[in-house]
């Protein structure tokens, strides 16, 4: 019986019918930056199956609180105060613990704090737009922020991004890393967005839409939104004639 990590710790192949194609003409910048040749699938090696390990010591006290982490003392960011929470699991339903979740977003007016940002909405002096948290032992995460505004973007027409929060999740190996965007339930701009439109399956779009979660809302403080995230799963390790853990 072989049971070494290098023999069995590979990750499941990505389902390319579920994920958006690299080339989607209505999303203009995808035309020039997408590959011309068909992709090749290669077996993963240790370089992809492992990744950086993060611990609580690297996080700042307010990293999980975008309402305050860029604000002057006694001040806070402008906008509807919200809590975003959920679980990070893999394709087999296993929690992904102690993994780094990084988020970035526009302010309540739809403007980013970035030197190339050109939208006329004003900057909020008390909002930076970045945060990060670690998942707990059950894969759960939570952060506080303000609800971002929608913004127009140069895509050749009258295109607006729905309100969204960008996510990067490291997972336990580089092959598992996911960079995606979270949208808000009920936003009519979701259906209009050429970037969202690159996703072929409506059910796949729905996995990117956070649901209002009144059970976690803090009265007179913040509404809560639930957003669960699924990372690529590891192939299960065979143990004699059954799958490990089953």
**Active-site positions?**
112, 151, 161, 164, 166
| Three-point CA angle 186, 188, 191, nearest 5° | 110
CA 148 to CA 118: how far, in whole Å?
Answer: 16
Whole-number Cα distances in Å, 181 to 48, 50, 115, 125, 221: 23, 24, 21, 24, 25
DSSP β-bridge partners for residue 238: 243
**Residue ranges in the chain assigned as alpha helix (H):** 5-8, 29-33, 46-49, 202-206
| Three-point CA angle 74, 75, 79, nearest 5° | 150
**Considering only CA atoms, which of 197, 192, 96, 109 is closest in space to residue 140?**
96
Q: Taking the mean position of all CA atoms in its chain, how far away is CA 77?
A: 22
Q: Beta-carbon neighbour count of residue 240 at 10 Å?
A: 7
Q: What DSSP assignment string belongs to 88-99?
A: EEETTS-B-TT-
**Residue ranges in 40-91 assigned as alpha helix (H):** 46-49
Q: Could you tell me if 197 and 162 are in contact, meaning their C-beta atoms sit under 8 angstroms apart?
A: no
């Amino acid at each position: 019986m072989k049971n070494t990590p290098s023999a069995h710790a590979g990750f499941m192949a990505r389902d390319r019918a579920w994920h958006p194609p690299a080339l989607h003409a209505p999303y203009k910048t995808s035309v020039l930056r997408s590959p011309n040749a068909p992709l090749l699938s290669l077996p993963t090696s240790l370089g992809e199956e492992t990744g950086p390990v993060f611990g609580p010591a690297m996080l700042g006290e307010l990293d999980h609180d975008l309402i305050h982490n860029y604000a002057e003392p006694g001040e806070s960011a402008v906008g509807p105060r919200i809590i975003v929470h959920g679980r990070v699991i893999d394709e087999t339903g296993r929690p992904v613990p102690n993994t780094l979740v990084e988020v970035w977003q526009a302010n309540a007016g739809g403007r980013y704090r970035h030197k190339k940002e050109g939208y006329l909405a004003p900057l909020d002096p008390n909002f930076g737009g970045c945060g990060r948290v670690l998942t707990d032992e059950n894969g759960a995460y939570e952060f506080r922020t303000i609800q971002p505004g929608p913004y127009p973007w140069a895509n050749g027409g009258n295109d607006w991004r729905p309100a969204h929060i960008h996510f990067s999740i490291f997972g336990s190996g580089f092959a598992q890393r996911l960079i995606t965007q979270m949208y808000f339930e009920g936003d009519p701009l979701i259906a209009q967005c050429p970037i969202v439109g690159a996703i072929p399956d409506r059910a796949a779009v729905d996995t990117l839409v956070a649901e209002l979660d009144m059970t976690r809302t803090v009265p007179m403080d913040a509404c809560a939104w639930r957003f669960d995230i699924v990372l690529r799963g590891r192939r299960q390790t065979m143990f004699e004639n059954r799958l490990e853990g089953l």
